Structure 1
């Protein structure tokens, strides 16, 4: 069977337009409401042998609200955005348009002084590849960007693919396999 890693995107802490780089805000009212609505689907994932979360307040709160009692993993933190931390993309683009263009075009650059996209994807992939190779189940609640990075890494996709993956709050994705050999597992709508 192999290892089964289910990633759960943390509930939101702000509207999409108000999202800030490296945002440490807790869940907002809409986020709590969404957790309550999705709980019937997500709570059973807590039966996994290992339960983790990103160290951010919203990831910890999401995991706790779902009954996972997750262990915070520093490797699952969001991308280090350096001096752009706490700003929106629109704010940064207004002041540093060339830097934003470079950051979006080249996954090796980090004009903000933080972590490059390539380094971020590698860090998250390193976390995946250091999970136990035994059969079993893991659930991890993380920022949507972390889920995107894990998918790009697991599928060995080009880093620019990161920008084409949409991860909505409380969505899930499951990777199966073992360190170094991951497969995307899509759940069937009906039992077969």
Structure 2
């Protein structure tokens, strides 16, 4: 039987990660070109809040994944599950959960690193205004979407795993592997 505490904890952690990823997308750094006292153009960036939102979302998603995988013993440790549809569903959700988790973590990490990178006097040696490096729109949004999918499949994996663990194992009469008549 699935534990309500594990389900609630994973849901809360992943929901907070999703909200922070959306917040990071909305608070991305933007840049304006300004001139200093010497007349050189340079880039002035807005707040760096989205970098910290992205790091927070990355950390919370990692914590939610650790709780879900700890509760299911990462699907490979512990006693073997009974064969059946619940084990199959759990295996499929496990694989999809890890794929979406890795993609979400990469999006959030890349967005946080790229958003923290600021150029100042890139136009110092060339004529014209400087090119102000900014994060492309949608990186944190992609991270938020994959965070939602990772949360969904982590929850499904845990529930199917719990159903497979609670199922009665098949009865094998005699010793050895049961074979059918040819």
With the shorter chain as reference, the TM-score category is under 0.3
Q: TM-score, normalising length from structure 2? A: 0.24
Structure having the higher helix fraction is: 2
Tell me the TM-score normalized by structure 1: 0.24
- The structure that is strand-richer by fraction is 1
Pair member with larger Rg? 2
